[in-house]
Amino acid sequence: MAYRFVVVLGIAAACVACSQQQEGSAPLANAPRAAATTSVPALVTTTSTPSNLTYLYDLMQRPDFSTAFAALSGVDQLPPWASQGGVATPAQQVTVNGRVEMLATACKPHDCPAERILILYDENTHAMSGLFARRKPNAANNADSNDPANDDLIWLGAPDEISRQLLRQKLYSPD
């Protein structure tokens, strides 16, 4: 029974990834995973509409986004996959302190628990900040990726405290 479920789930994921490639929105490596939203004080989160899915890979193709990303402090400490988009969930629109921003998330291909990135981007001002998490070298391979004690964090740019709260919440409580 479990085998059939895994096969059906794999076929469904392949269909989603294939349909996205035909539309030109994301390569197979960026097949979506389920994402949910929760709230933080002074924050309203809204997921993007299903017909307008955008992934970190897509955003990195935009000159405004990639230029802001390249200028972020801390970006020189990131692995190459981070600037290529990694394995991503659809970006969301979030409101932080009255500003509408995009929240893009991704992880290291074939090893999501080991490295994860979250980017906040204001499309109007091109302001960007983010958070990169890398599993500590002494953490076990099966360490809980929702436990901050298992990660080394790199803050990207200069997020304000509300943005830091949002990024930490999304990193450690994605549901």
Q: Is the pLDDT of residue 151 over 50?
A: yes
pLDDT in tens, 75-132: 999 999 999 999 999 999 999 989 999 999 999 999 999 999 999 999 999 999 999 9
> Does residue 35 sit within a domain?
yes
pLDDT in tens, 117-128: 999 999 999 999
Quote the number of domains for the chain: 1
> Does residue 1 sit within a domain?
no
> Does residue 98 sit within a domain?
yes
> Does residue 149 sit within a domain?
yes
Where does residue 93 rank: exposed (0-12), middle (13-18), buried (19+ CB within 10 A)?
Answer: middle
Q: Residue 133 CB: number of other CB atoms within 10 A?
A: 23
> Does residue 7 sit within a domain?
no
> Does residue 142 sit within a domain?
yes
pLDDT score at 46: 45
CATH number of the domain bearing residue 145: 3.40.1420.10
Q: Is the pLDDT of residue 2 over 90?
A: no
Considering the entire predicted model, what is its pTM? 0.71
Give the domain extent around 142.
31-172
